[in-house]
Amino acid sequence: MNLLVTGGCGFIGSNFIRQRLTEKNSPLRRLVNLDALTYAGNPANLADLAKDPRYVFVHGDIGDAALAARLLVEHEIDAVVNFAAESHVDRSIDSPEPFIQTNVVGTLRLLNCARLHWSKLTEPRKAAFRFLHVSTDEVYGTLGPKDPAFTEETPFAPNSPYAASKAASDHLVRAYQHTFNLPTLTTNCSNNYGPYHFPEKLIPLVILNALEGKPLPVYGDGRQIRDWLFVEDHAAAIWLVLQRGRVGETYNIGGLNEKPNIEIVQTICALLDRKSPRADGKPYATQVTFVADRPGHDRRYAIDCSKLQGELGWAPRENFATGIDKTVDWYLAHRDWCADITSKKYARERLGTAR
């Protein structure tokens, strides 16, 4: 298989690529990583794999149709996995337009290129080609405390500009399958956590702020509930769907770990108290600071992934206790990576303005 991965220098994409290049008996001949290297795309996430002869990195945007079309042909691509997206709700509230440009227009252009490429393939490559679009549970909106979890049949009800942009891209993928018969697959995941997570998100932010003696900000009352999915379990599920999923179908991927945000923060504090105690002996929980809730903050997400489990036999390897333990250990062992991220050193270097 020759695989095109978009957004592969980001959090989930880099974990997916790492799995694919390090697994035994991999079917990959080549893996092309197309990434625009926006603020959350970090080549350091894959630096140790850069010399793998199967790996090709291309700095570029999925909205660049000429580039995408050339890569599909030049590398004889058999499947596309589209991770490329603007993905932070707070940023979408501050400035929605980049989310529309990347998540909607970019996905549209990539779909156009994939359709043209696929249409020219000869059998059996044409029948085997797949376009897998990676999306989020936020397209479904919010749940009440007693509501059943989101299924693949839950109507879309996005509540943030980010969620709306992802819902639009999901609809485009569905339309291309229905109208043009492009062999697509879509996955909608719950909140991810794990290694290489960009520090603006809750879990890495809490870990790093705690270690640096900064406040640990918690929105509102901290009772917002999310279903937490370890990123390596997510990457394995995507690979399984790509290989065995039914064309045109959507598969929800959840961690089966519903937790309120305040419990996440308290768990991290307790782990750090044990693994890296404060010099003054005080608990990290004393740094917790409740802040004003963000606009339109969804109260609860929960994923029903029984379709994925029943059809493809997937199950997460990590529960939250084991996954968060591994995550905290990773951040403690990779303080240099964290320092580069938080100082934006790698971004300045990429722009030629490092000092």
- pLDDT given for residue 345 in this prediction: 52
Three-state SS for 196-250 is CCCCCCHHHHHHHHHHCCCCEEEECCCCCEEEEEEHHHHHHHHHHHHHHCCCCCE
Are residues 267 and 207 in contact, defined by beta-carbon separation less than 8 angstroms?
no
- pLDDT given for residue 51 in this prediction: 94
The CATH superfamily assigned to 2-194+229-255+302-317 is: NAD(P)-binding Rossmann-like Domain (3.40.50.720)
Is 140 a known active-site residue? no
Q: pLDDT tens-digit profile of 236-280? A: 999 999 999 999 999 999 999 999 999 999 999 999 999 999 999
- pLDDT given for residue 145 in this prediction: 92
Per-residue pLDDT of the chain (355 residues; tens, 9 = 90+): 999 999 999 999 999 999 999 999 889 999 999 999 987 789 999 999 999 999 999 999 999 999 999 999 999 999 999 999 987 777 888 889 999 999 999 999 999 999 999 999 999 999 999 999 999 999 999 999 999 999 999 999 999 999 999 999 999 999 999 999 999 999 999 999 999 998 878 999 999 999 999 999 999 999 999 999 999 999 999 999 999 999 999 999 999 999 999 999 999 999 999 999 999 999 999 999 999 988 888 899 999 999 999 999 999 999 999 999 999 999 999 998 888 877 765 444 443 332 2
**Which positions ≥6 away from 214 have C-beta within 8 Å?**
287
- pLDDT given for residue 40 in this prediction: 79
Q: Which of 61, 78, 86, 138 is catalytic?
A: 138
Q: Give CA–CA dist 72/69, Å, rounded.
A: 5
In this structure, what token pair is assigned to residue 169?
């891209």
Whole-model pTM: value is 0.94
> For residue 88, with 0-12 CB atoms within 10 Å meaning exposed, 13-18 middle and 19 or more buried, which class applies?
middle
In this structure, what token pair is assigned to residue 145?
């405390």
Is 138 a known active-site residue? yes
Angle between the N-to-C axes of helices 261-275 and 202-211, in degrees from 0 to 180, rounded to the nearest 10: 40
- pLDDT given for residue 352 in this prediction: 38
- pLDDT given for residue 348 in this prediction: 47
Q: Which of 162, 196, 284, 331 is catalytic?
A: 162
Q: In what order do the strands lie in the sheet with 130-136?
A: 55-59, 30-35, 2-6, 79-82, 130-136, 184-189, 250-253
- pLDDT given for residue 353 in this prediction: 32
Is 76 a known active-site residue? no
Q: Which of 35, 78, 86, 137 is catalytic?
A: 137
